[in-house]
Amino acid sequence: MIASAAPGWFLEHAYLIPLIPAIAFVAIIAFGKRIPAVQVGRYTVPGGGSLIGIASMLGSLALSAGAAIQWIQSSHGHSYTAPIRKSWVWWQSGGIEIGLGQQIDGLSVMALLLVAFISTLVQIYSLEYLKGDRRYTHFFAALTLFSSGMLVMVLAENMVQLILGWELMGLCSFMLIGHWWEDPANSRASLKAFFTVRTGDIGLLVGTAIVGLSAQKWINANGLQDQYSGFSIEGISRWALAGDSQYKSVLTWGAVALFIAAIGKSGQFPLHTWLPDAMAGPTPVSSLLHSSTMVVAGVFLVARIYPVFFEGLRILDTDVNFIAVIGGITIIVAALLAFVQTDIKKVLAYSTVSQLGYMMMGLGVGAWTPAVFHIWTHAFFKCCLFLCAGSVAHSGSHHSFDMKKDMGGLARKMPVTFVCWVISSMALAGVPFFAGWYSKDEIIDIAGANQYWVFFGIGLAGAFLTTAYMTRATYLTFFGKPRGAAAGIHESDHGDAHASHDAHDTHGAHDAHDAHDDHGAHAGPHESPWLIKGPLVILATLAIVAGLINAPAFKIFKFEEWVEPKAEPVALVAEHSAEGDGTKATEESHSEGAARSVLVAAGGESSGEGEATGVGEAKGEEEHAGYPNGRIDEGHLTGECGTPGFVPASEEACYAPGILHHKFEWIKALPAFVLVVLGFVLSAGFCVLFYERKHRRLVGLTERNVLARAGYKFLWNKYYLDHLYENVIVRGIAHPLARAMYWVNQNVLDGIVNGAGRTGRKVGEITYKVVDQGIVDGVVNGSGAAARGTGTALRPTQSGKVSQYGALLFAAAALAALILVLVNS
């Protein structure tokens, strides 16, 4: 199929997508507060700048959708679609050029669309959720800036720009978690989030430096300076897959360092402790940043420069690697913690951590496409879950998120929320034919198929646990007898119900909150208004449907086709820059038909097909290049790049490593399904027994049984990790450091200052006593005394006594005579 000759306006101008929210951010900050709410008939058009935010997000969404459509059109039917790269030189230093620009390929298009879409929905949701909030305008400004930052990161052309977007997101996360910073718990949470992610960012900077500078060295050695800079994603990818053995250890260390950054940002064990605390922010923040978009930045990073990790950590080549291990541990650790939470948002937070573990594990076992697809599907159902939790709090439990105290029996009172929640939970659990099943089960499937049995097992266990804790959370929230606020008991003491989550401003403003919908009558739990319900419904629908674009069960591989980078070595055309307008635009396969045909011809055995499953069916049984025989027994390699020992030829370049695609079989999906069902049944049964019927054997088990109590306590204290981090590590470093600094301050610095003061005073004293009184006054007095003394000494000569005068006369004359004689002799 012939694609359009030109790549398309949306793809070329994709840099507008983050630019519009950035401008909107400035506008909201500048004018937002002054925009009043306008009454139009029955409706109130909200003021305060929120509409600017929503408009900008809609603009970004439109542009992203356009870009996505154009990308799909242009990539359809080609073996290799070059990313559309543009960059403008930002600064140069030491022979390295750092630019700002865009790299549009399948991954970035997907992420752009995802971020823009979720941001739009969340902003619409926030219109209702945060109505009357004390910092309404700044909330929308921060949300908009966040979206801009993530969009910048997603289409970053080079690592520096990626870091820029990364840090912008971190800043907005800090601002948004601490949105109600008047409560010290919230500001502590935002600080914890910031510092923990920052700890990981050490790895980001170190890793970028290592990787970028090494890539630059390789680029200079191969004369490719005018095509890429060392920090560009394409340059790094090509360098990593060049098979140059001198960079082996650099790749490993760079990969480790960069993965540490991903651990921090994506909440992997051991730096996951900030995510649950981040639930202190408003629910829209949790649903946007800390479930769908920001926390997947780490996963995105790994997926983006996958060649570095693939080569550095020898994914597929070794039995176990750093990424998979961390991912696997995270899955289990977080899932277990979700069982002991009473706060519904914290359950979802741990669930997010666990799912991020799935994504990382997927990347670690060579399941690139399923992991990225899981980003896609997870965003929808997790965002929906969070928004449902927000809806429950907003209209059901009177702003409380405590499941045990203020929820229960809400299924009938809030049907839409309930249905959306259930659909999203099923998607999360991986119930077949819901969105999560297509992505999560693929990860598990490929882990097994790639002979990573340990991780296969972990994945299955994770599925069981996920279903179990989600059932518990569902039961506590929507079933059973209504408790607390869900029962209409409105506690006059707002204290602990509002403790660290959706705290309202002052009680005065609470009345403003009462003014809208029918909340004022405190009629008990009810369904939320449409501004809240709408996004829920949309997302729940997507939670079913979004998975269908890549359903191996039904032989649909659209996502794979559009997003997965091709792993065949790419033949390089002689002319590279088709446009000489000073920007580095390498659009290798799109400008001329001639170029295209060259590529198609060079594609070799993978020519002219659009479905990756078609690649090398013939290769199915043969030994995969470099991989140990028997270790990976079936599946087809997407390309030669990255296989051990493969070095691309001189006119070819590799941009993505070859990964294995395995055939879907229904039988292979069975273990996961069984475990899901098991998990549901066991958990439901437990919940009914424990919570409803208060089975005497279960109630008080943790008090009677030492083992149970120990286990419960261990989980309740989050494995004592917070204790370890804050009390042991931080305190162990910070307190002695603080004491030492205090000592230095009091003794050294103050000593210096005091010493200077004392010295000054001493100098003053000495100056006064010695110099001023002694010397100066001495001179002055002395001259007077000398004069007086001289006078006194000479006065006797004026005694009036003649004989004395005579004596003097004679003496002087005699002396003068003597002198005269002596001089003249």
Partner 1 sequence: MLVNQFLLLGAVLFAIGVYGVIARKNAVLVLMSIELILNSVNINLLAFALRNGGDATGHTFALYIIAVAAAEVGVGLALVILVYRNRRSIALDELSEMKG
Partner 2 sequence: MLASGGLVAQNIAFGIVALIMVVGALRVVTTKNVVHAALWLVLVLAGAAAQYLILSAEFVAVTQVLVYIGAVTVLFLFGTMLTRAQLGKATDLNNKTWALGIPVALLVLGTLVYVLIDTFGDDKVVDDPKDVPNVPVQAISDSIFKPYLLPFWALSFVLLAALVGAIVLARKD
Q: Which of the choices partner 1, partner 2, none does residue 681 contact, using the CB cut-off of 5 to 8 A by kind?
A: none
* Cα dihedral 328→333→337→338 (10° resolution): 0
Q: Which of the choices partner 1, partner 2, none does residue 5 contact, using the CB cut-off of 5 to 8 A by kind?
A: none
Q: Is 38 or 787 the residue whose CB approaches partner 1 more closely?
A: 787
Show contacts with partner 1 in window 7-46 (CB under 8 A): none
Q: Is 773 or 799 the residue whose CB approaches partner 1 more closely?
A: 799
Q: Is 38 or 815 the residue whose CB approaches partner 2 more closely?
A: 815
Q: Is 555 or 795 the residue whose CB approaches partner 1 more closely?
A: 795
511: CB partners within 8 A, 6+ apart: none
Integer CA distances (angstroms), 356 to 213, 295, 323, 502, in order = 30, 8, 12, 25
Give me the least distance between CB of 776 and partner 1, in Å please.
33
Q: Which of the choices partner 1, partner 2, none does residue 705 contact, using the CB cut-off of 5 to 8 A by kind?
A: none
Q: Which of the choices partner 2, partner 1, none does residue 821 contact, using the CB cut-off of 5 to 8 A by kind?
A: partner 2
Stretch that binds partner 2, among 188-196, 509-517, 726-734, 811-819 (CB under 8 A): 811-819
> Does residue 440 contact residue 382 with C-beta atoms inside 8 Å?
no
Q: Which of the choices partner 2, partner 1, none does residue 800 contact, using the CB cut-off of 5 to 8 A by kind?
A: partner 1
Q: For 753, what's the count of Cα atoms within 13 Å in the CB-facing half-sphere?
A: 6
Q: Is 737 or 813 the residue whose CB approaches partner 1 more closely?
A: 813
Give me the least distance between CB of 822 and partner 1, in Å please.
17
Stretch that binds partner 1, among 197-205, 472-480, 509-517, 791-799 (CB under 8 A): 791-799
Among 515, 763, 766, 807, binds partner 1 (CB under 8 A): 807
Q: Which of the choices partner 2, partner 1, none does residue 818 contact, using the CB cut-off of 5 to 8 A by kind?
A: partner 2
Q: Is 752 or 811 the residue whose CB approaches partner 2 more closely?
A: 811
Q: Is 798 or 803 the residue whose CB approaches partner 2 more closely?
A: 803
Nearest C-alpha neighbor of 423 from the set 548, 536, 344, 339: 536
Q: Is 802 in the site for partner 1 (CB under 8 A)?
A: yes
Give me the least distance between CB of 825 and partner 1, in Å please.
17
- Other Cβ atoms less than 10 A from the Cβ of 732: the count is 11
Give me the least distance between CB of 796 and partner 1, in Å please.
10
Give me the least distance between CB of 824 and partner 1, in Å please.
18
Among 666, 800, 822, 824, binds partner 1 (CB under 8 A): 800
Stretch that binds partner 2, among 474-482, 600-608, 650-658, 806-814 (CB under 8 A): 806-814
Binding mask 742-781 for partner 2 (x = CB under 8 A): ----------------------------------------
Burial pattern 156-169, b for ≥16 Cβ within 10 A else e, equals: bbbbbbbbbbbbbb
Binding-site size, partner 1 (CB under 8 A): 11
Beta bridge partner(s), residue 43: 40
* Burial environment of residue 89 by CB neighbours within 10 A (0 to 12, 13 to 18, 19 or more): middle
SS3 content of the chain, % helix, strand, coil (to 5): 70, 5, 30
Among 4, 651, 804, 805, binds partner 2 (CB under 8 A): 804
Give me the least distance between CB of 765 and partner 2, in Å please.
50
Give me the least distance between CB of 784 and partner 1, in Å please.
20
**Joined tokens for residue 709:** 């109590």
> Does residue 589 contact residue 575 with C-beta atoms inside 8 Å?
no
Q: Which of the choices partner 1, partner 2, none does residue 580 contact, using the CB cut-off of 5 to 8 A by kind?
A: none
Show contacts with partner 2 in window 783-802 (CB under 8 A): 801
Q: For residues 273 and 71, what is the distance between their CA atoms, to the nearest angstrom? A: 38
SS3 96: strand
Q: Is 723 or 801 the residue whose CB approaches partner 1 more closely?
A: 801
Stretch that binds partner 2, among 4-12, 126-134, 758-766, 812-820 (CB under 8 A): 812-820
Give me the least distance between CB of 795 and partner 1, in Å please.
8
Q: Which of the choices partner 2, partner 1, none does residue 815 contact, using the CB cut-off of 5 to 8 A by kind?
A: partner 2
Q: Is 801 in the site for partner 1 (CB under 8 A)?
A: yes
Q: Is 574 or 823 the residue whose CB approaches partner 2 more closely?
A: 823
Nearest C-alpha neighbor of 373 from the set 536, 229, 546, 537: 546
According to DSSP, the β-strands at 38-40 and 96-104 are unpaired
Helices 159-177 and 233-240 cross at an angle (nearest 10°) of 120
Q: Is the dihedral of CA 447, 681, 538, 133 positive or negative?
A: negative
**Nearest 5°: CA angle at 497, between 349 and 490?**
130
Q: Which of the choices partner 1, partner 2, none does residue 825 contact, using the CB cut-off of 5 to 8 A by kind?
A: partner 2
Give me the least distance between CB of 804 and partner 1, in Å please.
8
Q: For residues 285 and 294, what is the distance between their CA atoms, to the nearest angstrom? A: 10
Among 245, 492, 803, 824, binds partner 1 (CB under 8 A): 803
Among 795, 821, 822, 823, binds partner 1 (CB under 8 A): 795
Place of tokens 């979206």: 147
Q: Is 758 or 801 the residue whose CB approaches partner 1 more closely?
A: 801
Q: Which of the choices partner 2, partner 1, none does residue 795 contact, using the CB cut-off of 5 to 8 A by kind?
A: partner 1
Burial pattern 649-688, b for ≥16 Cβ within 10 A else e, equals: eeeebbbbbbbbbbebeeeebebbbebbeebbeebbebbe
Give me the least distance between CB of 813 and partner 1, in Å please.
10
Among 739, 810, 818, 820, binds partner 1 (CB under 8 A): 810
Beta bridge partner(s), residue 88: 100
Q: Is 670 or 820 the residue whose CB approaches partner 2 more closely?
A: 820
Q: Which of the choices partner 2, partner 1, none does residue 741 contact, using the CB cut-off of 5 to 8 A by kind?
A: none
Place of tokens 């990860």: 443
Show contacts with partner 2 in window 617-636 (CB under 8 A): none
198: CB partners within 8 A, 6+ apart: 170, 264
* Burial environment of residue 701 by CB neighbours within 10 A (0 to 12, 13 to 18, 19 or more): middle
254: CB partners within 8 A, 6+ apart: 207, 210, 211, 214, 308, 312
Q: For 244, what's the count of Cα atoms within 13 Å in the CB-facing half-sphere?
A: 21
Stretch that binds partner 1, among 5-13, 410-418, 601-609, 804-812 (CB under 8 A): 804-812
Show contacts with partner 2 in window 426-445 (CB under 8 A): none
In whole angstroms, what separates CA 568 from the centre of its chain?
31
Q: Is 794 in the site for partner 1 (CB under 8 A)?
A: no
Among 492, 621, 803, 823, binds partner 2 (CB under 8 A): 803
Q: For residues 74 and 8, what is the distance between their CA atoms, to the nearest angstrom? A: 9
Q: For residues 419 and 421, what is the distance between their CA atoms, to the nearest angstrom? A: 5
Among 806, 815, 816, 819, binds partner 1 (CB under 8 A): 806
Nearest C-alpha neighbor of 361 from the set 343, 340, 335, 393: 335
**Joined tokens for residue 15:** 């840099």
> Does residue 536 contact residue 544 with C-beta atoms inside 8 Å?
no
The contact set with partner 2 (CB under 8 A) reads 801, 803-804, 807, 810-811, 813-815, 817-818, 821, 825
> Where do contacts with partner 1 occur on this chain (CB under 8 A)?
795, 798-804, 806-807, 810
